[in-house]
Amino acid sequence: MKKFKFLALSAMTSTVMAFTAACGGGQDAGKDEGAADQKQLQGNVAMDGSSTVFPIMEAIAEEYMIEQPNVQVSVGVSGTGGGFEKFTKGETDFSNASRPIKDEEKKAAQDNGIEFEEFKVAFDGISIVVNKENDWVDHLTVEELKKMWTSGAVSGNDKVKWSDIREGWPDEEIKFFSPGHDSGTFDYFNEVILEEKPLNKTAQLSEDDNVLVQGVAGDKNAIGFFGFAYYLENKDKLKVVPIDAGNGPVEPTHETIQSGKYTPLSRPLFTYVNVKSLKEKAQVYDFAKFILENGAEFAEEVGYVALPEEQYQEQLKKLEGLK
C-alpha cells in the first residue's frame, strides 16, 4: 500500500506545481486548472458483503479516497448473503460476493426494481488449515473432507476423531471452525464439498475470518477453512493442507488457483453494482472504474490472485456501456 500512497502523494505534488504554473501562466493555464477541478467528485458510495472480498475492497477504497477526498466510501462486512439482502433492497451501491448471486436473490432484486451488473475482481482458493503443531495431516482427499465435515457421516456421530478419517491418526476429537451460513465461502464449500448436506453440528461458526484463524491457531486438533488471503496473512500461525481431488495433493498457491489446478476449491470473487447508482451517481461509476483499473494490483497486494488482464479490459468496456 505504501507504493500507492507514494504515487498519490506524487500526484498531489504535481497538482500543486500545476496550480503554481497556472497562477502565472495566463488564460490557458486557468482553463487547465478548471478542467482539473471538474474531475474532483463528492458524495457517498455504500458497499457491503463478503468478508473474503473485504481486504481487496478496503485497500481499493482507501486509495480511491486519497484521489477523491470528497467521496466517502464505506465497506461493510455482512457476509455475502447479508450483503445481498441489503443490496436487493436498494440500501447499497455495491455488493461484494464470494459466490455468484442466487436465483432467489435475483428475484428479490427484480421485485424491488433493482437492476444490477456483475463484475469479477479476482480469484481465490478456499484454504483448508490446521494447527501449526499438527504433524499428522500431510494432505486430505475431497472424500475425507466431505466425511469429516458432513453431519452424521461417521457412524451417525458428529463427534469425529482424527482416527475416524485415516488409520494411524490420533484418537482425538476434531474441533471444527467454519464461516457462518451468511458467508459465500460457506456456500461454496457447501456446494462442492458437502454437496448440500448438513454441516457437522459441532462446528463453531463465525462470519469473521479472524475469529476462525484464532480458533484454529488455539487448538492442536482444530481444522477450519477461509479465503487464501487470510491464510497468507496468518501462515506463521497455521498450516495449510494440500487437497487431493484425484490427481494428487495440490497446495493453494497463486499459480494453482489461477490455473484451476487447485480444484475444486478455486473460485472467482465478485462485486455487484446497482445500475441506477452507476447512471445517477458519478462517484459510483468512477469508483467502479477504479476497481477494474486497479483490481489486479490490489488483489495481488492483499494476497489474492489477479484475473488475466484481458478480463479486466473486457469488463471496463462493459462498464462503459452502462453509462
Where in the chain are the domains?
42-124+268-320, 127-264
Give the Cβ contact number of residue 6 at 10 Å: 10
Task: Name the residue among 84, 123, 165 with its Cα closest to residue 252.
Answer: 123
What gap in Å lies between CA 148 and CA 165, rounded to an integer? 7
Q: pLDDT (tens digit, 9 = 90+) per residue, 224-266?
A: 999 999 999 999 999 999 999 999 999 999 999 989 999 999 9
What gap in Å lies between CA 118 and CA 168, rounded to an integer? 47
pLDDT value, residue 39: 82
Q: Is 246 exposed, middle or buried (0-12, 13-18, 19+ CB in 10 A)?
A: exposed
Which segments in the chain show pLDDT lower than 70?
A: 1-38
Domain over 42-124+268-320 is classified CATH 3.20.20.10 = no
The class level of CATH for 127-264 reads alpha beta
- The model carries a pTM of 0.78
pLDDT value, residue 34: 40
pLDDT value, residue 320: 96
pLDDT value, residue 153: 94
Please give the mean pLDDT across all residues of the chain.
89
Quick check: do 42-124+268-320 and 127-264 share a fold?
yes
3-state secondary structure of 92: coil
